[in-house]
Amino acid sequence: MRGYSMDKDDYQRRLRRIEGQVRGLQRMVDDDAYCIDVLTQLSAVTKALQSVGIGLLEQHVQHCVMEAARGDDPDAARAKVEEATRAIERLVRS
């Protein structure tokens, strides 16, 4: 069971909303909308995706990393912490 399973419906709703925003961006480009307006909407979509990513990361740490830390295998715990660290690096770079 994944750490986000309990909030899966919320994540699905948020991702569908983002999908709609992306379709709106496509329409804006098709309609030759003003560049700054397109960039503003693009920024909103980016922030929404980052918010989903942060939420998933938080749940990963609270569920998967903490579970590994409570276990008897320190190597597994270290691996989960490293995995979370790499995910944070990817989110920061995006």
Predicted local confidence at residue 8, as pLDDT? 87
> Which residue type is seen at 11?
Y
Residue with tokens 């740490």: 61
Predicted local confidence at residue 3, as pLDDT? 67
**What domains can you pick out in the chain, each with its CATH number?**
5-93 (1.20.58.1000)
CB 63, CB 19: distance < 8 Å:
no
Predicted local confidence at residue 76, as pLDDT? 93
pLDDT (mean) for 11-33: 97
Output DSSP code: residue 43. Answer: H
| pLDDT tens column, 29-81 | 999 999 999 999 999 999 999 999 999 999 999 999 999 999 999 999 999 99
CA distance 38 to 27: 10
CA distance 17 to 60: 23
Nearest alpha carbon to residue 68 among 56, 57, 84, 54: 84
